[in-house]
Chain A
Amino acid sequence: MDMDFRNGKELLELCQVHYRPVSEIMRLRECQIGSVTIDELTEKMRHAVEIMKEACFLPIKKPRKSIGGLIGGEARLLNKHHAKGKSLCGNVLSRAITYAMATLEMNTSMGLIVAAPTAGSSGVIPGLMFALKEEYNISEDRIIDVMFNAGAIGYLAMRNATVAGAVGGCQAEVGVASAMAASSAVELMGGTPEQCLDAASTALMNMLGLVCDPVGGLVECPCQSRNAAGVANALAATEIALSGIKTMIPFDEMLEAMYSIGKKLPTELRETALGGCAATPSGCRFAQSVSLT
């Protein structure tokens, strides 16, 4: 029984034929390609999830300054704001934003994170997963399960498009992370494989064209805030899919659209720090302050 799939369409076919969720197909594929047992896989993923958890929570207790000096302490501020009852977003989104930005705080201060799919977009998936876990009392084992769902979406993006900001802009990093988070959240909340792919497509659609324009060339600003945008977008896409709204454009086509846009982006807007936020007078000033320290 071949569990390998090359696109979203084949993935959905496998889900239908075997009556399995996306995560399960991805897990079986992994066992086949890597010749590993399900238990070994689960343990490896458990380890990744533990690293993600620490990156979500540690900066709230112990704020960390980034090496470039542009960010630091955001997770604690968000947490305080929420604790005071001032959050406008509601529990899930407020937590998700806090954890996503905390992860980036961890990342930029040379802390330990899991690239998901990249370091610059590492906050989106853990942000949404741990927020939902908390709100709905979900077990850690379930989070580990649906990480394979996120992995399936990310694998397709890597295989058929790109997840590198230098190649496809931020849409390829935070955009894909957002699609991965949305799809895994749908499965976590009981949605069907079709709804997973629909959510991924919607999430990616809403991030089309997003450029990669890091101030001073560092993974700090706007990356941290973009992770918050990615997680909010993922939550919206999840809600849309779970409500039964179908996407007009299938995930495979959306991925191709994203890739094609990425290749058309001028180099100034692909991680070179020559355009967008990086090229604003303030961005340039901050970049100057980084190189002086």
Chain B
Amino acid sequence: MSVISVFDVLGPNMIGPSSSHTAGAVSIACLARKMMNGSIKKVEFVLYGSFAKTYQGHGTDRALLGGIMGFATADKRIPESFSIARQRGISFDFISNETETEVHPNTVDIIMTNEDGHIMTVRGESLGGGKVRITRINQVAVDFTGEYSTVIIIHMDKPGVIAHITRCFTDEGVNIAFMKLFREAKGKTAYTIVESDGAFPENVPLEIKKNQHVKDVMAVEL
């Protein structure tokens, strides 16, 4: 566990009623939003476990939609997020999945479609106290929290890609706090997730992208 701050205890500052079902939902959706380029036109939320059972009474639906529009946990517009989304031309839908039980009790899949018709699915879990983690991007299992500035690199599982990625960080003098690798299968699509202390210069994602085996780079800044 990372170091606990006084504001982890007295905080988050949040729209109620629940740190896991409301604030955590905002944070998951906000992270998902940052991973998607362009403006979002359509979003579908598939809710599991306790999220599926009690989402209306906890405002989880409004919280998720608010997060997709970039609202923070303390944003007073969250209760109005349905009407704000409609004004912005974002279509949205909530689906309860109570049959799938092999998931963390507060899990949501967020399926986003942007203006170019590009579709991306992000799975997040709300761990309590407003803490969250992202556990899946499209079909690949991943693991990061968004508590650090994070770069997600989608690439082919080929030799030399990781060395290239770390070099890009080193060249810009950025310290890597955590680094994790995930892959669909040997030689197939892989995900590398790098979390750094403090922000990284814009150059880092651009440089990483130059490698021929890198398909996409997503930067999730704090």
Q: Which residues of B contact A116 (CB under 8 A)?
A: 9-10
Q: Say yes or no: is B124 at the interface (Cβ < 8 Å to chain A).
A: no
Q: Which residues of B contact A30 (CB under 8 A)?
A: 5-6
Q: Which residues of B contact A18 (CB under 8 A)?
A: none
Cβ distance B61 to chain A, nearest Cβ, rounded Å: 11
B16 touches A150 (CB 8 A): no
- B1-40: CB near A (< 8 Å → 1, else 0) gives 1011111111111111111101100000000000000000
Of the candidates A44, A67, A119, the one having the most CB atoms from chain B within 10 angstroms of its own CB is A119
A112→B128 CA distance, assembly (Å): 18
Q: Which residues of A contact B22 (CB under 8 A)?
A: 110, 119
A111→B6 CA distance, assembly (Å): 22
Q: Which residues of B contact A68 (CB under 8 A)?
A: 57
A119→B62 CA distance, assembly (Å): 17
Q: Say yes or no: is A244 at the interface (Cβ < 8 Å to chain B).
A: no
A117 touches B57 (CB 8 A): no
Q: Say yes or no: is B130 at the interface (Cβ < 8 Å to chain A).
A: yes
Q: Who on chain B is nearest to A68 by CB? A: B57
Known contacts: A30-B6, A45-B10, A110-B79. The answer to whether A217 contacts B57 by CB under 8 A is yes
Chain A contacts with B in 48-105, Cβ cutoff 8 A: 48, 51, 66-68
Known contacts: A33-B3, A112-B15. The answer to whether A150 contacts B50 by CB under 8 A is no
Chain A contacts with B in 192-235, Cβ cutoff 8 A: 216-220
A157→B6 CA distance, assembly (Å): 12
Known contacts: A216-B57, A218-B17, A218-B57. The answer to whether A44 contacts B9 by CB under 8 A is no
Q: Say yes or no: is B58 at the interface (Cβ < 8 Å to chain A).
A: yes
Q: Say yes or no: is A247 at the interface (Cβ < 8 Å to chain B).
A: no
Q: Which residues of B contact A108 (CB under 8 A)?
A: 16-17
Q: Which residues of A contact B141 (CB under 8 A)?
A: none
Of the candidates B4, B6, B19, the one having the most CB atoms from chain A within 10 angstroms of its own CB is B6
A158 touches B17 (CB 8 A): no
A119 touches B10 (CB 8 A): no
Q: Which residues of A contact B74 (CB under 8 A)?
A: 51, 112
Q: Say yes or no: is B67 at the interface (Cβ < 8 Å to chain A).
A: no
Q: In the complex, which of the residues B10, B13, B56 contacts A154, with contact meaning CB atoms closer than 8 Å?
A: B10
Q: Say yes or no: is B59 at the interface (Cβ < 8 Å to chain A).
A: yes
Q: Which residues of A contact B7 (CB under 8 A)?
A: 44, 48, 151
Q: Which residues of B contact A163 (CB under 8 A)?
A: 9, 129
Q: Which residues of A contact B78 (CB under 8 A)?
A: 110
B13 touches A216 (CB 8 A): no
A114 touches B14 (CB 8 A): yes
Cβ distance A10 to chain B, nearest Cβ, rounded Å: 15
Q: In the complex, which of the residues A119, A154, A220 contacts B19, with contact meaning CB atoms closer than 8 Å?
A: A119
Cβ distance A240 to chain B, nearest Cβ, rounded Å: 24
A33→B5 CA distance, assembly (Å): 8
Of the candidates B3, B16, B22, the one having the most CB atoms from chain A within 10 angstroms of its own CB is B16
B129 touches A110 (CB 8 A): no
Q: Say yes or no: is B180 at the interface (Cβ < 8 Å to chain A).
A: no
A–B Cβ pairs within 8 angstroms, 11 of them: A34-B5, A45-B10, A67-B57, A111-B16, A114-B11, A115-B129, A150-B10, A163-B9, A166-B105, A217-B54, A218-B57
Q: Which 8 A-B pairs have the closest CB atoms?
A: A107-B16, A154-B9, A151-B6, A219-B17, A217-B54, A110-B79, A164-B128, A68-B57
- Can you name 6 extra interface pairs (CB under 8 A) apart from A110-B79, A218-B54? A26-B6, A41-B6, A109-B16, A110-B62, A120-B17, A166-B20
